[in-house]
Chains A and B, each alone.
Chain A
Amino acid sequence: MIEVENLSKTYSGFRAVQGISFHVNKGEIVGFLGPNGAGKSTTMKVLSGYLPPTDGKISIAGFDVVNDSIEVRKRIGYMPENVPLYTDMRVNEFLRFRAELKKVASRKIKDRVETVKQLCHLKDVENKIIGTLSKGYRQRVGLADAMVHEPELLILDEPTIGLDPNQIRSVRDLIKDLGKHHTILLSTHILSEVELTCTRVLVINRGRIEASDTPANLTKLVRGGGSILLEVKAAHLEVISKIEALPDVEDVEVTLPGDGDWTQAKIFAKPGVDVREAVYGVVRANDWPLREMARVKATLEEAFVELTQD
């Protein structure tokens, strides 16, 4: 659906995006992650046809973004950051205007506007002036606008920023639902959202792509995908030395001070190796009283921090 080759974008001498390449297949929901100023919004603006690329080649649905801009724009629904809307228009009026502008056939306009209002739960504010709506509603009006012409591709720049937890949940469900029929590229800072909605994640930092994988695989990049929490009654030095002696264990961290005679340790194994059985073997061999043993999965947040921190 999206093919990006060597895309660069320079603003007055500053290279916001430095030769990135990626592709998005039809039907994917791809999360675009990165710290502020990493080049996410810039890339999305270039994809949407708003900014011309300084260098590189981008095609969307087989059309070149620069040369066939109008064709590309017909096929994408773009929701910019901060959702700029005409604040003097009513919701109904605005959606009808946008549908007309995006060349929805006139006999279908009424239907499409009704459908997107239903999908985005806008029925109760349909006759209100956009300027009087709360942030959450405006966000949903923006989303409704982005999909009013049934685009093949949705590009959503931070669709859940500024929403309350309930609204975030409803937008997330909506995006998941939309993913059944549309290809979606969305940027966000809320990592739990990405884990729940996206089939793939692109991590961008300082204008470069750092990683591209499923959320689950990305978390595996972090110190073997997680750690084992162990709490035993033993001297902490003894725990460290005996467990570190195991062949597949890379590191053992002890939380100090312990709780009385108890020692709490975090065990990091080599990527992809499950050392729980071996650890339990050590515990039994030394006859340590055991209070807790649990596997702690690495979060996407840890992966994000690891990939984007210098």
Chain B
Amino acid sequence: MAFWTLFKREFISYFNSAVAYVVLFGSAFVQGLMFTIIIWAITDSNFKQASVLQIFFSWTLFWLLIFVQVPLITMRVFSEEFKLGTIEMLLTAPVREWDVVLAKFFGALTFFLVLWLPVVLDLLALQLFSSPPPPVYWSQIGMTALTITLVGGFYISLGVFTSVLTKNQIIAAVLCFALLFITFGISTFRWFRHIDANVLAWASYASAPEHIQNAGLGLFDSRPIVFYVSLTAFMLMLTKSILESRRLRS
């Protein structure tokens, strides 16, 4: 299976680059810091009822972290191949463009999920070292994990798309950051007072922070799932056709 071979190579190659370790370390550090601050805040202000999970993922810092992570993970996936010329070697092997695009996407998504493993450890520590241990709601945890995967997948597909546009990694990263900002900007509509209700409803449908908040409450909603899966598929299709047309032009 060409996909599996390529996927393995993509995923392992993250651990061969210094950038990946910086991102990994930075993420773990920021996540740990956020976690510590939340625990402090909760104990300090004597909240009667608070979900660490909910506070963590509705914090702006969480989004900021994602917006730094995603471009750093995806900027190299195609840009580097174009720059080194290895794309020629890759595409003259008996592989289809789809195999390449999907392997790069899933490789990046898997690495993205690895970046969130420290949070699992943080939550585990909370469970082990507090007495009495806080209650665990699996539906909330499961829905949050699923939503992060879906949102992450969509963001990664944007990054993979910007990476196929240029051989310059910096340009790819900046473009990706811009696209993430635009998609995220939609969720800020609810802060405006004089805005049409229809627009607001539409914005809420596309608003990632709302999706994560709902997931944190343990609510299952199929609409965001359809929304992210279809958008991700669309971005990957776009990536594939640009990969093909770049070859036609080169």
Contact = CB atoms under 8 A, between A and B. Distances in A.
Interface of A: 11-12, 45, 48-52, 70-71, 73-74, 76, 78, 80, 82, 84-89, 97-98, 100-103, 145
B85 A84 contact: yes
B108 to A, nearest CB: 16
Nearest to B250: A51
Interface stretch (B2-10, B35-43, B113-121, B191-199): B2-10
B84 interface: yes
Contacts of B248: 51-52
Contacts of A87: 84
Contacts of A145: 89
Contact of A88 (B2, B13, B94): B13
B88 A45 contact: yes
Given A80-B92, A101-B2, 8 more contacts: A49-B91, A51-B248, A73-B93, A84-B87, A85-B86, A87-B84, A88-B16, A89-B9
Nearest to A48: B92
B95 A84 contact: no
Nearest to A157: B88
11 contacts: A50-B247, A51-B250, A80-B92, A82-B85, A84-B88, A84-B89, A86-B9, A86-B86, A88-B13, A101-B94, A101-B95
B17 interface: yes
A70 B96 contact: yes
B95 A50 contact: no
Contacts of B92: 48-50, 73, 76, 78, 80
Nearest to A131: B16
A218 to B, nearest CB: 30
Contact of A97 (B5, B84, B87, B247): B5
B249 interface: yes
A76 B86 CA distance: 17
A76 B94 CA distance: 9
Interface of B: 2, 5-6, 9, 13, 16-17, 84-89, 91-96, 247-250
Contact of B94 (A52, A73, A84, A85): A73
Given A80-B88, A85-B89, A88-B17, A101 B250 contact: no
Contacts of A70: 94, 96
Contacts of B16: 88-89
A97 B9 contact: yes
B84 A84 contact: yes
A80 to B, nearest CB: 5
Given A78-B92, A88-B13, A102-B93, A51 B247 contact: yes
Contact of A12 (B17, B84, B249): B249
Nearest to A80: B88
B94 A86 contact: no
Nearest to B85: A84
Name the residue among B9, B13, B89 with the largest chain A CB count within 10 angstroms: B89
A80 B85 contact: yes
A50 B5 contact: no
A103 B87 CA distance: 18
A102 B94 contact: yes
Contacts of B247: 50-52
Contacts of B84: 84-87
A50 B88 contact: yes
Contacts of B2: 101, 103
A219 B16 CA distance: 52
Contacts of A11: 249
A247 to B, nearest CB: 56
A87 B2 CA distance: 21
A98 B95 CA distance: 11
B216 to A, nearest CB: 38
B5 A100 contact: yes
Contacts of A80: 85, 88-89, 92
B93 A101 contact: yes
Nearest to A72: B94
Contacts of A49: 91-92
A179 B249 CA distance: 34
A25 to B, nearest CB: 23
A37 to B, nearest CB: 16
Nearest to A99: B5
A300 to B, nearest CB: 29
B93 A98 contact: yes
Contacts of B5: 97, 100-101
Given A80-B88, A84-B84, A88-B13, A103 B249 contact: no
Name the residue among B88, B91, B92, B95 with the largest chain A CB count within 10 angstroms: B92
A71 to B, nearest CB: 8
Nearest to B99: A101
A86 B6 CA distance: 13
A24 to B, nearest CB: 18
